[in-house]
């Protein structure tokens, strides 16, 4: 609880925050005579391609609209963000003391100087900016995070923004679940302190409403990754053009808080089921392309290939394809030759839908089902922890049998998504 000492001091100087403080129509920049100063906050640079795609999408809009604005990013790996997006960036947490003596003193004082340094960094940085934007991603949840991980970091920056008079905006964000009581308290404060909130689905908005937050004026707009451009089609090699390809998006998933446990039961069960499903596809003559949405998912791809061999599945050379992925753009290029995509990560599903590919979601959160229902594919969802392989094979067969019809249906939905993206951008131009 010592980590909350700086927060107690900070909150002591704040007025009580309630729903009346949420100013969804307030103009953020008070001084139109100087360039806007915009800071972006999120779990960027950690090789989660969906998160980085959200950052890229909001930057496309901001730089096109305000090319002279001053930008900065608060993220996990600032050097990678600076390199990939030409964006000044700092770490979401203060890096600490350079001196070994000071690090030792910090350690024997329960890292209180470091904790204070985190707050000083946030306040000194945000006092230079008009607005702090959290673009996309599932920020308001505690997936794979203890209370003093990501929830506390987001909380620290939100409190600092309020102390500095910097407006906080959530754009097409995801929310919930939040399982830990302390995380729920901190993230509820964060959500309440925002001057603008929009959500990527009704599930997220309803979740915050269930926490006592007035969301009646909060709009629902598509996930920011839908704004990213789709790549130019690449023709398949003539030797493989007659073989139908099914994309399989793997994920290193071991439960909502699986990283805190040494029990890999959830992951192993999921892996064995996906190996069985993949083997069935190979036996029926399909080509399989293995896809990832985060660098850590390479583990699942490697384990799947091992599991296939152990279960006795063999396939002709080239029937199982794996290629490097470094972004959502790479992912979409790999999906170009997919007749159907079966994916676990949320942004794998989004990339497949952007390309109008008939898609099956093996999700771990309500956001998956919400998106699939919106795209008219609500019958093609399963939960990753309750996966039925026989049903999955039936769903795949159904999509393959009527692929053209489902592609046309998805394209019609994408036109509506494009219109709603433009609607939110028009609104952001008015309030930022």
CB-based contact 16:50 (threshold 8 Å)? no
Looking at residue 259, its pLDDT comes to 54
Share of the chain above pLDDT 90, in %: 75
Residues 282 and 359 in one domain: yes
Same-domain status, 182 and 296: no
The reply to whether 1 falls in a domain is: no
Residue 14 predicted with pLDDT over 90: no
Same domain membership, residue 373 and residue 267 = yes
- 231, burial (CB in 10 Å: exposed 0-12, middle 13-18, buried 19+): middle
Instruction: Assess if residue 6 is contained within a domain.
Output: no
**Does residue 413 sit within a domain?**
no
Region 25-50: mean pLDDT is: 78
Tell me: pLDDT of 25 over 50: no
Pair 195, 57 in one domain: yes
* pLDDT confidence of residue 304: 96
Whether 148 is in a domain gets the answer yes
- Per-residue confidence band for 258, with pLDDT thresholds at 50, 70 and 90: low
pLDDT value at 89 more than 50: yes
Q: What is the mean pLDDT of residues 76-102?
A: 84
Can you give the pLDDT at residue 184? Answer: 96
Number of domains in the chain: 2
pLDDT digits (tens, 9 = 90+) for 359-418: 999 999 999 999 999 999 999 999 999 999 999 999 999 999 999 999 999 999 999 999
Check residue 105 and give its pLDDT.
63
Q: Is 25 exposed, middle or buried (0-12, 13-18, 19+ CB in 10 A)?
A: exposed
Q: Is residue 7 domain-resident?
A: no
| 264-306 confidence digits (pLDDT tens) | 899 999 999 999 999 999 999 999 999 999 999 999 999 999 9
| Same domain for 220 and 282 | no
pLDDT computed for residue 109 by the predictor? 60
pLDDT band for position 97 (cuts 50, 70, 90): low
69 φ/ψ angles, rounded to the nearest 5 degrees: -70, 155
pLDDT at 264 (0 to 100): 86
Pairwise CA distance, residues 367 & 420, whole Å: 18
Whether the per-residue pLDDT at 35 is higher than 60: the answer is: yes
Q: Are residues 209 and 284 in the same domain?
A: no
Please report the pLDDT score of residue 12 as a whole number: 38
What b/e sequence results for 417-430 when a residue is b if at least 16 CB atoms lie within 10 Å of its CB, and e otherwise? beebbeebbebbee
Question: Mean pLDDT throughout 323-347?
Answer: 95
In a domain, 364, yes or no: yes
How many secondary structure helices (H) and strands (E) does the chain include? 15, 13
How high is the pLDDT of residue 152?
Answer: 95
Q: How confident is the model at residue 428 (pLDDT cuts 50, 70, 90)?
A: very high
Is the same domain home to 282 and 309? yes
pLDDT per residue over 103-161, tens digit each?
A: 556 566 656 667 788 999 999 999 999 999 999 998 899 988 889 999 999 999 999 99
Residue 79 located in a structural domain: yes
Above 60 in pLDDT, residue 23? no
Contact indicator for 54, 42 with CB cutoff of 8 Å: yes
Is 292 in the same domain as 207? no
Q: Cα Rg for the chain, rounded, in angstroms?
A: 23
- The CATH number assigned to the domain holding 311 equals 3.40.50.2000
Q: Are residues 282 and 395 in the same domain?
A: yes
The half-sphere exposure of 199 on its side-chain side, counting CA atoms within 13 A, is: 22
Q: How far is CA 358 from CA 170, 314, 374, 407, 411, in A?
A: 30, 27, 14, 6, 11
Percent of the chain with pLDDT over 70: 84
Q: Rounded to a whole number, what is the distance in angstroms from the first to the last CA of the chain?
A: 36
Predicted model pTM: 0.89
Q: Quick check: helix, strand or coil at residue 146?
A: coil
Note down the domain range covering 87: 17-228+419-431
Same domain, 116 and 90: yes
Do 315 and 392 belong together in one domain? yes
Q: Report yes or no on 189 lying in a domain.
A: yes
Phi, psi of 94 (to 5 degrees): -60, 130
Q: Specify whether 48 is located in the same domain as 154.
A: yes
């Amino acid at each position: 609880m010592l980590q909350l000492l700086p927060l107690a001091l900070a909150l002591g100087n704040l007025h009580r925050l309630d729903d009346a403080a949420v100013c969804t129509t307030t103009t953020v920049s008070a001084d139109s005579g100087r360039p806007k100063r915009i800071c972006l906050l999120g779990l960027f640079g950690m090789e989660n391609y969906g998160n980085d795609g959200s950052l890229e999408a909001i930057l496309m809009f901001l730089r096109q609209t305000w090319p002279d604005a001053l930008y900065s990013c608060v993220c996990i790996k600032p050097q990678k963000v600076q390199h990939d997006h030409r964006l000044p960036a700092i770490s979401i947490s203060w890096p600490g003391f350079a001196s070994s003596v000071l690090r030792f003193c910090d350690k024997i004082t329960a890292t209180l100087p470091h904790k204070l340094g985190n707050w000083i960094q946030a306040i000194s940085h945000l006092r230079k900016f008009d607005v702090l934007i959290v673009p996309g991603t599932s920020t308001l949840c505690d997936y794979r995070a203890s209370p003093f991980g990501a929830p506390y970091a987001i909380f620290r920056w939100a409190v600092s923004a309020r102390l500095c008079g910097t407006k906080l905006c959530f754009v097409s964000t995801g929310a919930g679940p939040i399982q830990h009581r302390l995380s729920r308290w901190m993230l509820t404060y964060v959500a309440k302190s925002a001057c603008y909130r929009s959500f990527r689905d009704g599930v997220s908005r309803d979740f915050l409403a269930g926490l006592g937050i007035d969301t009646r004026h909060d709009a629902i707009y598509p996930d920011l990754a839908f704004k990213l451009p789709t790549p130019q089609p690449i023709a398949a090699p003539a030797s493989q053009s007659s073989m139908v390809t099914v994309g399989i998006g793997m994920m290193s998933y071991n439960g909502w808080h699986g990283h805190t446990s040494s029990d890999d039961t959830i992951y192993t069960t999921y892996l064995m089921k996906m190996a069985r499903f993949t083997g069935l596809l190979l036996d029926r003559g399909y080509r399989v392309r293995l896809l990832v949405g985060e660098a850590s998912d390479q583990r699942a791809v490697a384990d799947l290939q091992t599991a296939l061999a152990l279960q006795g599945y063999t396939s002709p050379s080239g029937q199982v394809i794996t290629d490097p992925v470094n972004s959502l753009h790479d992912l979409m290029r790999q999906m170009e030759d997919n007749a159907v995509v079966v994916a676990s990560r949320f942004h794998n599903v989004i990339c497949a839908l952007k390309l109008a590919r008939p898609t099956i979601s093996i999700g771990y959160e309500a956001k998956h089902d919400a998106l699939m229902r919106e795209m008219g594919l609500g019958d093609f969802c399963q939960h990753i922890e309750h996966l039925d392989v026989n049903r999955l094979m039936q769903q795949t067969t159904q999509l393959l049998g009527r692929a053209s019809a489902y592609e046309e249906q998805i394209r019609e939905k994408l036109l509506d998504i494009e219109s709603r993206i433009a609607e939110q951008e028009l609104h952001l131009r008015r309030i930022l």
